[in-house]
Chain A
Amino acid sequence: MTELDLFSMLFALMLATFVGFYVIQNVSRLLHTPLMSLTNAISAIAIVGSLIIAGEEKTVFGTVLGAVAVFASFTNIVSGFLITDRMLKMFREKEPRA
């Protein structure tokens, strides 16, 4: 890897950490449980790395590990988004009193 690549990755890390701190501090405490399941689903973006390893067929060992990683990540994606939505549906406002 060239030095430029390494530094552009470090910049991405630094900026994303700041954005993360800023955005997440604004999340209402009401929603901290859905927050955790949502960020969990999002960090299952690790699936993009797993997909390539499982599909490029370089070695049997690599393919098997990659496939298990795809399974683990996709489980998190499916269950993470579904349960977040399920919980958020429950948060309702006070019905206007007649």
Chain B
Amino acid sequence: MIELLTKLSYLGAATLFIFSLRWLNRPKTARNGVRAGVAGMALAMLGTLLHPEIVNFTWVALALVAGTVVGVPLSRVPLTAVPQRTAISHAFGGLAAGLVGTAKYSIWLGEGELTAFRTGAIVVEVILGFLTFTGSLMAAGKLQEVIPTRPITYRGQNAVNLGLLGIALLAGVWVVLDPTRWQLFPVIVGLSLLFGVLLIIPIGGADMPTVISLLNSYAGLSAVAMGFVLENQLLIIAGALDGSSGFILSVIMCRAMNRSFTNVLFGAFGQVQAKAVAGETKPVKSASPQDAADYLINAQRVVLVPGYGMAVAQAQHRVREIYDELSKRGIDVKFAIHPVAGRMPGHMNVLLAEAKIPYEALAEMDEINPELPQTDVCVVVGANDVVNPAARSDKSSPIYGMPIIDADKARVVLANKRSMNPGFAGIDNALYTADNTLMVFGDAKAVLGDIAAALRAENEGKAAA
């Protein structure tokens, strides 16, 4: 009877999880998606706690309290830190899978219940779980910039990494053939932990959106493997949903950078620092915030291209003021969001939503590009590579072929930058020296604040007149 109730609760939970993701497809129903997810999770946990095998609740209760104590503050981080939080949660997911696999191995080893199948599933779960654990911690460290974000490479790196993984897999096969050879188990755990670290070391900061998505996928797959170990279909289903989501996001990120998985994982991007072309510097035209405001006032269509630099400068609220003042004048303002703007998929949208910019004003790259030739003013804030026309035209550029926002096709481009130093990837940007570009130098928050103030003065003057 109790077993039936447990199984029914799992069936209900799996259904609710699918609805949860289904409702996330658009902002209007998205919060119902969260409610369905919470309901599914509560149902599954209650169904599990009914289990007669659970005899001691002390440890369980302590762990649940500790999880709440750590989980609540983790949900309140600033939105610029959401990528790090996400990486940490991938790490926790991997850790749980690795630990459950290890515990199951030791328990079954003692009971003499290890079959080749169970051992095989445990080996997959443990390798995936522990490499996700350390890999995600490394990614979180790079995102938080406690670990250098530049790629760390050395000769023969890929051979060493693949060699280590190969040894772990061989040890895994051996343990499947002879499950009682427990001495191999710590070797597998140790090598997986080490492999996770070494896998992320050569990956540069610019690739973090892809890496985070890929680790998301691994965390899901380790839950699937746990499902096979525990013979639990709910785990398999929820893990597969997570795994496919991570996979889709990684594919989107790779396409947005025109790179392949192997290239991201083994290519050490950012290493290909373009040799700065010395000499032959075209003159740069610059403008004051007041000039910029004048251009904006006389425009009918304005497109803003925000990049992570905007969020670093905490300038999104100034951007919102500009949006408000221009909208008051009936000027059409849209935001062009490149898929890799920010540090994880969709990051820029969240940052702009926090600044209370309505989501209808946020446009994807593919939808905004055809409109840019009819755009009067395009404002680039803290974005660099995603508006670099070299990606379309210069075959020698490291970013050649990457889809970009065609900012240069607008009639006038206003680009804000601190100085003329090249951006993150160290690539020169021809947009800044183009004939239709005016540079507005200075800190993004200060400059945009000045532009917003000039617009407000203009609007108030108009209202008074």
Query: Which residues of A does B touch, CB under 8 Å?
Result: 1, 5-6, 8-9, 12-13, 16-17, 19-21, 23-59, 61-95
Interface window among B12-20, B378-386, B405-413, B430-438: B12-20
**Docked pose: A69 CA to B362 CA in angstroms:** 39
Within 8 A of A (CB), among B203-224: 212-213, 216, 219-220, 223-224
Asked whether B446 is an interface residue with its Cβ less than 8 Å from the other chain, the reply is no
Asked whether B66 is an interface residue with its Cβ less than 8 Å from the other chain, the reply is yes
Interface window among B285-293, B348-356, B456-464: B348-356
Q: Give, as a whole number of angstroms, the nearest-CB distance from B328 to chain A.
A: 10
Our pick among A36, A38, A46, A76 for the contact of B34 (Cβ within 8 Å) is A38
**Docked pose: A51 CA to B58 CA in angstroms:** 11
Query: Are B26's CB and A28's CB within 8 A?
Result: yes
Query: Are B31's CB and A88's CB within 8 A?
Result: yes
Within 8 A of A (CB), among B329-388: 337, 339, 344-347, 349-350, 353-354, 356, 358-362, 364
**Docked pose: A34 CA to B347 CA in angstroms:** 9
**Docked pose: A16 CA to B441 CA in angstroms:** 51
Chain A contacts for B92, CB-based, 8 A: 44, 72-73, 75-76
Query: Are A91's CB and B64's CB within 8 A?
Result: no
Query: Are A55's CB and B53's CB within 8 A?
Result: yes
User: What 12 additional pairs, Cβ within 8 angstroms, besides A23-B22, A39-B241, A45-B41?
Assistant: A20-B245, A23-B25, A31-B346, A32-B346, A38-B34, A45-B44, A52-B230, A53-B107, A73-B92, A78-B72, A90-B356, A93-B360
Our pick among B44, B99, B353 for the contact of A87 (Cβ within 8 Å) is B353
Query: Are A29's CB and B364's CB within 8 A?
Result: yes
Residue of A nearest to B92 (CB): A72
Q: Known contacts A16-B240, A20-B243, A70-B60: does B354 contact A76 (CB below 8 Å)?
A: no
**Docked pose: A62 CA to B220 CA in angstroms:** 23
Query: Which residues of B does A touch, CB under 8 Å?
Result: 10, 13, 17-18, 20-22, 24-27, 30-31, 33-34, 37-38, 40-41, 44-45, 47-49, 51, 53-57, 59-60, 62-64, 66-68, 70-72, 74-77, 79, 82, 85-86, 89-90, 92-93, 95-97, 99-100, 102-104, 106-107, 110, 115, 117-118, 212-213, 216, 219-220, 223-224, 226-246, 248-249, 252, 337, 339, 344-347, 349-350, 353-354, 356, 358-362, 364
Query: Are A29's CB and B339's CB within 8 A?
Result: yes
Residue of A nearest to B133 (CB): A72
Chain A contacts for B110, CB-based, 8 A: 58-59
**Docked pose: A97 CA to B356 CA in angstroms:** 15
Chain A contacts for B337, CB-based, 8 A: 29
Q: Known contacts A20-B241, A43-B242, A93-B360: does B21 contact A38 (CB below 8 Å)?
A: yes
Chain B contacts for A20, CB-based, 8 A: 21, 240-245
Our pick among A58, A83, A89 for the contact of B82 (Cβ within 8 Å) is A83
Our pick among B49, B238, B345 for the contact of A33 (Cβ within 8 Å) is B345
Q: Give, as a whole number of angstroms, the nearest-CB distance from B459 to chain A.
A: 15
9 contacts between A and B (CB under 8 A): A9-B228, A23-B22, A36-B212, A36-B216, A47-B41, A50-B99, A67-B59, A73-B92, A76-B96
Query: Are A37's CB and B89's CB within 8 A?
Result: yes
Chain A contacts for B27, CB-based, 8 A: 28, 30-31, 88, 91, 93
Q: Give, as a whole number of angstroms, the nearest-CB distance from A94 to chain B.
A: 4
Residue of B nearest to A71 (CB): B63
Q: Known contacts A38-B24, A45-B41: does B96 contact A72 (CB below 8 Å)?
A: yes
Ordered nearest first, which 6 A-B pairs have the shortest CB separation?
Answer: A74-B67, A78-B71, A32-B346, A20-B244, A55-B54, A82-B75
**Docked pose: A7 CA to B107 CA in angstroms:** 25
Chain B contacts for A61, CB-based, 8 A: 103, 106
- Residue of B27, B75, B360 with highest tally of chain A CB at under 10 A: B75
Query: Are B240's CB and A90's CB within 8 A?
Result: no
**Docked pose: A71 CA to B100 CA in angstroms:** 12
Query: Are B54's CB and A59's CB within 8 A?
Result: no
Query: Are A78's CB and B31's CB within 8 A?
Result: no
Q: Known contacts A33-B347, A79-B74: does B219 contact A40 (CB below 8 Å)?
A: yes
Chain A contacts for B244, CB-based, 8 A: 17, 20-21, 24
Q: Known contacts A23-B18, A27-B24, A58-B107: does B354 contact A44 (CB below 8 Å)?
A: no
Q: Known contacts A9-B231, A46-B235: does B103 contact A66 (CB below 8 Å)?
A: yes
Q: Give, as a whole number of angstroms, the nearest-CB distance from A83 to chain B.
A: 4
Chain B contacts for A30, CB-based, 8 A: 27, 346, 349, 359, 362
Chain B contacts for A53, CB-based, 8 A: 100, 103-104, 107
Residue of A nearest to B234 (CB): A45
Query: Are A56's CB and B53's CB within 8 A?
Result: yes
- Residue of A19, A20, A63 with highest tally of chain B CB at under 10 A: A20
Q: Give, as a whole number of angstroms, the nearest-CB distance from B254 to chain A.
A: 14
Chain B contacts for A86, CB-based, 8 A: 75-76
